[in-house]
A and B are shown apart, each in its own frame.
Chain A
Amino acid sequence: MRKIALALMTSVFLIGCNNDDDTQPAVVEVSVDFTFTQNWDGDPIENSDFDIPQYTNENGEMMSISKLVYLISDVTFISLSTGVTYDAGDYNLINVRDQTNLTFTPDIEIPEGDYIVSFTFGFDDEDNQDGIYQDLNSADGGWNVPMMLGGGYHYMRLEGKFIDDTGSLENYAYHTIRAADTSTDPVTLQDTSFEVGLGQITIGSSTNIEVQMNVAEWFKNPNTWDLNVLSTVLMPNFDAQIMMFENGSTFSNSQGAFSLGSVTQ
């Protein structure tokens, strides 16, 4: 505690000094807030929507969502005026049902101005290292991926029930991770995280950027997802992971699950 107090005191002094010899016009550095919203083809998904079979996917199955938790990382701003890239480098685990971390302020301050903004869905290989994030190890009983599938972390856990071809209610667990082929030794891994581009955004002193996820897209395009065939045990299924990547990202010019919502200043 004493150490922290000392550090704080020093920083207070430093700030004091900085302010005292301000000679040139100050560059205002700002942080940027993100809000994550989720919908099913435009219909907002709230806590009260969970566990209710009410969504019809592209393949025609009626389904419910009981869990939707996902990870985003590496929010990046490329300045249009200077070309400088600002990479916050941190991450955010969004739990839609519990409504936690729906807003996120990356730990970086950037000069006001126009930027190309993007983030990563999941973790790219550089970040996706086994067991190194205490908060993720502690979240959801452990947000980890078993070592036999290459370790690292889940990108998304989407779970619920659907009515199958025979009319009975079945469980699904659509978990996205780095694709792992365990038929080879060593396991073949393929990074299936992807960058989501939000386009050009003007960042001012209090900018809030809405990121929308259309959950229906995960089942739509380019692969029409058939839950009768692919409902569970998808983590060790290399091909399924590639298909999830293709549906979630804008692979082959598909829509992708993410899009820019409203930007408020």
Chain B
Amino acid sequence: MKRSLAYIFICGLMFVSCADDQDDNVNGYTATPLELEIPPLFAEKILPPVIPEDNPQTVEGVALGRKLFFDKKLSADNTLACAGCHSQANAFTDPRQFSIGIDGIAGTRNSMPLFNVAWNYNELFFWDGRATSVENQALAPVTDPIEMHNTWSQVATTLQSDARYPVMFEDAFGTQSIDSVLVTKAIAQFIRTLISGNSKFDRYLAGTEELSPSELSGLNIFLDENRGDCFHCHGNPNNPLWTDNIFHNNGLDEFHEDRGRGGVTGDPREFGTFKTPSLRNLEYTAPYMHDGRFATIDEVINHYSEGLVYSETIDPLMKKVDEGGVGLTPEEKADLKAFLLTLSDPEFISNPDFQDPN
């Protein structure tokens, strides 16, 4: 009896292990598995990236997602690709304060840089966290009336009649039948490959490069509760993401026209809170904040130093709010900025794997 139970177990285990080897593809088709290139520091310090079981990374899926990301065919009038508001030179955000959709209408939020999104453990995307996976997120821009203003059935028809797409979907997912689920799966696979982990600061941690005295002083200000105290939200040298991916009100406004996270949850305690952005690649991602109100890093630092504005949901970590902030000296500000700029990863914005394949 016991032996036969054990056999059943083993068979079950074998079955499970076989099932795990398969992709979630139609007809049991298997594309070529592709490991994410995880920077050594990430592998050492933080938890592994989040990759949904039903959308494993594959060579064919990433190639397809990359083509789609750069393809204007996703928009109703063939004029705007994802890349139109997420450009590589800007670490995949938009240098304009508000992106313009195909009908010439501007949005009300600044675009967001795209890197290391697979390490967003909470899987809440957009400034307000309203999308619950990269796959879900990619559904939105296509149909958003002020972005690509298309319909998913139109997208499917367009791609279906293309000379190359049906074959590429076949290669990636084992079917030529194109729909929103497969399009967003492919795009999400491509976005997960957008990994930035080779900045001067990363090399400093790896022991291969030195920081200047000003940059080191800036790091200390960043970590010092008395002065910057940035690390409680934006991370520290043990967390290469440089964000907590949590929602806070960092003292921008007295009144919140844009309720941010609170607009999604309906919870007044979250009105005016937005997702903390990563501080990597700031050199390329201006303008800053959810509404792109600050054109320079100096303006951001001035905000935290003397521009804080009280509102009910302001985060308790904001200090001396009645005086506008802790009041950094000009030298401290310069050092803090010098440190922030060590988080730039020039390799990321020139990586040929992330360029337009079309």
Contacts and interface: CB of A to CB of B under 8 A. Distances in A.
A51 B270 CA distance: 10
Nearest to B245: A141
B198 interface: no
Interface string B294-322: 00000000000000000001111111011
A144 B9 contact: no
Nearest to B310: A169
A135 interface: yes
A12 to B, nearest CB: 5
A23 interface: no
B161 interface: no
A5 B19 CA distance: 12
A234 B223 CA distance: 13
Interface in A146-181: 146-148, 157, 159-161, 168, 171-173
B239 A173 contact: no
Contacts of B2: 16, 19-20
B105 to A, nearest CB: 35
A50 B269 contact: yes
Interface in B313-333: 313-319, 321-322
A137 interface: yes
A31 to B, nearest CB: 21
Given A5-B13, A236-B226, A144 B319 contact: no
A19 B1 CA distance: 11
A66 interface: yes
Interface in B15-38: 16-17, 20-21
For the residues of A in contact with B, the DSSP-based class is mixed
Contacts of A1: 17, 20-21
Contacts of A50: 269
A9 B10 contact: yes
B14 interface: yes
A233 B319 CA distance: 9
A9 B13 contact: yes
Contacts of A159: 316-317
Contacts of B318: 171
B256 interface: no
A115 B229 CA distance: 44
Contacts of A148: 220, 223-224
A134 B14 contact: no
Interface in B242-282: 243-246, 269, 276
Q: Which of B16, B17, B220, B241 has the most CB of A within 10 A?
A: B17
B157 interface: no
A142 B318 CA distance: 18
A187 to B, nearest CB: 13
A186 to B, nearest CB: 16
A13 interface: yes
Interface string A1-31: 1101100110011011001100000000000
Given A16-B6, A146-B223, A233-B225, 15 more contacts: A1-B21, A8-B13, A20-B2, A130-B238, A141-B245, A146-B231, A147-B237, A148-B220, A157-B232, A171-B314, A173-B317, A232-B319, A233-B226, A233-B229, A236-B225
Interface of B: 2-3, 5-6, 9-10, 13-14, 16-17, 20-21, 45-47, 121, 220, 223-226, 229, 231-239, 241, 243-246, 269, 276, 313-319, 321-322
Sorted from nearest, which 5 A-B pairs have the closest CB atoms? A141-B244, A142-B239, A146-B223, A171-B316, A5-B17
17 contacts: A12-B9, A12-B13, A135-B47, A137-B45, A137-B238, A138-B46, A138-B239, A141-B235, A141-B239, A144-B236, A146-B224, A157-B232, A171-B314, A171-B321, A233-B225, A233-B319, A236-B226
